[in-house]
Amino acid sequence: MTKRRIGFVGTGVMGKSMARHLMEGGHELYVYTRTKQKADELLAEGANWCNTVGELAKAVDIVITIVGYPHDVQEVYQGENGILAQAKQGTFVIDMTTSKPGLAHDIFDEAKQKGIHALDAPVSGGDIGARDANLTIMVGGEEGAFQQMQPIFQLMGTNVRLQGEAGAGQFTKMANQIAIAGTMMGVSEAMAYAKKAGLDQEKVLASIETGAAGSFSMSKLAPRMIKGDFAPGFYMKHFIKDMTIAIESAEELGLKTPGLVVAKKLYQELADKGEGDSGTQALYKYYTTYG
């Protein structure tokens, strides 16, 4: 594989592992994050620090971002000191944040005018998928850019698909989050029900996770619920953000999503009780602690 200079913006719960895989793949890594301490491990392993996103964009051939919210995406990409203003012609920019489809399209249009290749590529798999380089990566953009970035994507994920033009990756991620929202309610209710019925939750889980009820949430997050482990593999506050985007997008498409609306309401109630920095599996607490 050709060694590339890759800039990585956002080294949080998932980003740190994703960036590490790029270094392990033989690439030269440049990093920027608002809290430099979050990048300390990567810097100790050989990554280069940049003081601004603009400085990073000037130094690399590929920029990958995974930040928190759509306004963070706008902040790092747009404006005179943003990535699009500072990156050289021919640079590839890949936003892996879960963000708004319309914003992804805007970034693509602005990038194309400047001779920059833009892809929206949100991911699914949480901290475990990021750690194991087993993420699902949903991509929107041009076929040529996607094919050129395949070797990079494959260092971070195993299920990598081009879904369509700019914004299609974000639309696909919204479909993913809609499915997860309902599934998380079902898994949380099932585990709370088993406990209330006086059953051994681990035995119940062993029986039902391999049948029709099986899912990632059942196999990976239900065990955390049972153990009382609510550390974030994916922050509840970020899932609320995703559900908000999905609801707004569905409304724009003329689609009703009553299950998604209920799930967001339950998660928001927990966040209002101080659980926003907990993992999404903390929905279990709605039934066992706060219910």
Structure-token match 């949100």, residue found: 122
pLDDT confidence band for 12 (50 / 70 / 90): confident
Statement: residue 127 has pLDDT above 90:
no
Which are the contacts of 231, defined by CB distance < 8 A and separation ≥ 6? 224, 278, 279
With contact defined as beta carbons under 8 Å apart, do 277 and 236 qualify? yes
pLDDT at 50: 96
Mean pLDDT of 1-5: 85
d(CA 239, CA 62): 27
Instruction: Say yes or no to pLDDT of 290 above 90.
Output: no
Confidence band, pLDDT 50/70/90 cuts, at residue 233:
confident
Residue 186 pLDDT > 80:
yes
Helix runs in the chain, H state only: 15-24, 40-44, 53-59, 70-77, 83-86, 101-113, 126-131, 143-153, 168-196, 201-208, 216, 222-227, 236-252, 258-270, 284-288
Q: Give the pTM.
A: 0.92
Average confidence (pLDDT) over 175-190: 97
Q: What is the largest CA-CA distance in the chain?
A: 63
Per-residue model confidence as pLDDT tens digits over 61-105: 999 999 989 999 999 999 888 999 999 999 999 999 999 999 999
Taking residues 208-228, what's their average pLDDT?
Answer: 96
pLDDT of residue 40: 94
Whether pLDDT at 1 is above 80 = no
| Euclidean distance between CA atoms 85 and 203, whole angstroms | 56
Question: For the segment 38-57, what is each residue's pLDDT rounded down to a tens digit?
Answer: 999 999 999 999 999 999 99
User: What tens digit of pLDDT does each residue of 102-112 get?
Assistant: 999 999 999 99
Q: Which of 100, 173, 220, 241 is catalytic?
A: 173
- Mean model confidence pLDDT for the chain: 96
- Please say if the pLDDT value at position 291 is more than 80: no
Of 76-80, 160-164, 217-221, 285-289, which gets the smallest average pLDDT?
76-80
The residue with tokens 């708004």 is 100
Residue 287 has pLDDT above 70, yes or no: yes
Model confidence at 284: pLDDT above 90: yes
* CA neighbor of 140 nearest in space, from 104, 176, 106, 114: 104
173 is catalytic: yes
Domains with residue ranges and CATH for the chain: 5-165 (3.40.50.720), 171-288 (1.10.1040.10)
> What pLDDT, in 10s, does the model give residues 198-207?
999 999 999 9
> Quick one: the chain helix, strand, coil %, rounded to 5?
55, 15, 30
Please report the pLDDT score of residue 114 as a whole number. 96
Neighbours of 289 (CB within 10 A): 12
- Mean predicted confidence (pLDDT) in 258-262: 97
